Amino acid sequence: MKLKIAVLPGDGIGPEIMKQGLEVTKAICEKFGHELSYEYGICGAQAIDQVGNPYPEETHRLCMESNAVLFGAVGDPKFDNNPSAKVRPEQGLLAMRKRLGLYANIRPITTFESLIHKSPLKDELVRGADFMCIRELTGGLYFGRPQGRSEDGTVAYDTCVYSREEIERILKVGFEFAMKRRKKLTVVDKANILATSRLWREIAKGMEKEYPEVEVEYMFVDNAAMRMIQWPNYFDVIVTENMFGDILTDEASVITGSMGLLPSASIGTYTSVFEPIHGSWPQAAGKNIANPLATILSAAMMFDYAFNLKEEATLIQEAVDASMSQNIRTSDIQVEGEKGYSTSEVGEWITAYIKNH
């Protein structure tokens, strides 16, 4: 099979973790006889510095011409600490989502038995947690217009907008994932306050009859945030709007003990993007200490969701599980008393495992 991917390392630790994700991808393609072609593109702070645009036209063209996109991270303190900056790295991420039609962000939340001790929750609460967060990605407050500030600068405003079409397509993703899993779907909203949430709930209730096997419940976002900490095993598939999903998925990510372990997929109209959920961690850039597992697992999601190559995805997941069980880990998740491995050492071990199994 011919696989063409765009590689966007981005900022901070992005290039280091992406190198390992790409090496794993190449090893899988070689093992299973796939023909891989890839091309690098710039985005984020790096792209602002080079061309003044966090998502340049050349990068967009590359993404549109590729079957999938492997993405690192964007962000740089020089922009975070400058509230008057007109252009920011994160604007490139939003532009990429909008222009590629990346409407569904999929984040699996699973626990590693060997990492439960790192979770901020008690072992008995987090053990066995396994649920999926599906976040709408191109609507809501982040994209609604009008948006801005008054002329005198004393008032700022954002607008939350959702159309029936946007809601229906993301709910369909939620229902279909629920059908593939334990057939339970939690629709998270704020329907007691927000008109957009009431439309979400109305549409979801209308779609229930199309999926009679799925048990559907409706939960306000504040209750969902609390329930996620009290009883993470409660959930199977969660579907929600953009801002609520942004907050809940970051909350869910730390349940497992480390943000550095969780991948994500952003499914789109034109192509799909696969990326770790953590940030660019600029303080660690160039130090070869960042955990590459989330990027490597994002490559596994790419083989599964973009190319429907489940055997290939399973082997990557097996290799990551093996590295964890044998304590081949970066220092941030290493067992006390064991040696911490570098980014490249972890990636090379996983690549070797794939080649030998």
In the chain, domain spans: 1-106+280-357, 120-256
| Integer Cα distance of 155 and 267 in angstroms | 35
Query: Is 339 in the active site?
Result: no
pTM score of the predicted model: 0.88
Letter string b/e over residues 159-187, b meaning 16 or more CB atoms within 10 A of that residue's CB:
ebebeeebbebbbebbbebbeeeeebbbb
From 190, 218, 234, 332, active-site residue: 190
In single-letter form, the type of residue at position 109 comes to I
300 Cβ neighbours under 8 A, 6+ residues apart: 263, 312, 313, 314, 316, 317, 320
User: pLDDT at position 121, please?
Assistant: 86
Quick check: do 1-106+280-357 and 120-256 share a fold?
yes
CATH architecture of 120-256: 3-Layer(aba) Sandwich (3.40)
User: pLDDT at position 319, please?
Assistant: 97
Q: Which two tokens stand for residue 327?
A: 């304590």
Burial label, 59 (beta-carbon count in 10 A; 0-12, 13-18, 19+): buried
Query: Is 250 in the active site?
Result: yes
323 Cβ neighbours under 8 A, 6+ residues apart: 293, 329, 346, 349, 350, 353
Query: Is 190 in the active site?
Result: yes
Of 28, 12, 5, the residue nearest 297 (C-alpha): 28
Q: Which two tokens stand for residue 247?
A: 């907050």
In single-letter form, the type of residue at position 105 comes to N
**DSSP label at residue 181:** T
| Integer Cα distance of 326 and 262 in angstroms | 19
| Integer Cα distance of 91 and 82 in angstroms | 14
Query: Is 222 in the active site?
Result: yes
User: pLDDT at position 159, please?
Assistant: 96
Fold of 1-106+280-357: Isopropylmalate Dehydrogenase (3.40.718)
From 55, 142, 211, 305, active-site residue: 142
Q: Which two tokens stand for residue 311?
A: 């055997």
pLDDT tens digit string along 33-84?
999 999 999 999 999 999 999 999 999 999 999 999 999 999 988 887 777 7
Q: Which two tokens stand for residue 229?
A: 């900490």
Q: Which two tokens stand for residue 31?
A: 């093992």
Residues 307 and 3: beta-carbon distance below 8 Å: yes
What string of pLDDT tens digits covers the 357 residues of the chain? 999 999 999 999 999 999 999 999 999 999 999 999 999 999 999 999 999 999 999 999 999 999 999 999 999 888 877 777 788 898 998 899 989 999 999 999 988 777 787 788 888 888 889 999 999 999 999 989 998 999 898 999 999 999 999 999 999 999 999 999 999 999 999 999 999 999 999 999 999 999 999 999 999 999 999 999 999 999 999 999 999 999 999 888 888 777 778 899 999 889 999 999 888 999 999 999 999 999 999 999 999 999 999 999 999 999 999 999 899 999 988 888 889 999 999 999 999 999 999
pLDDT tens digit string along 192-233?
999 999 999 999 999 999 999 999 999 999 999 999 999 999
| Integer Cα distance of 161 and 203 in angstroms | 15
In single-letter form, the type of residue at position 49 comes to D
User: pLDDT at position 116, please?
Assistant: 80
From 49, 158, 246, 332, active-site residue: 246
| Integer Cα distance of 267 and 323 in angstroms | 28
User: Reduced to 3 states, what is the DSSP secondary structure of residue 182?
Assistant: coil
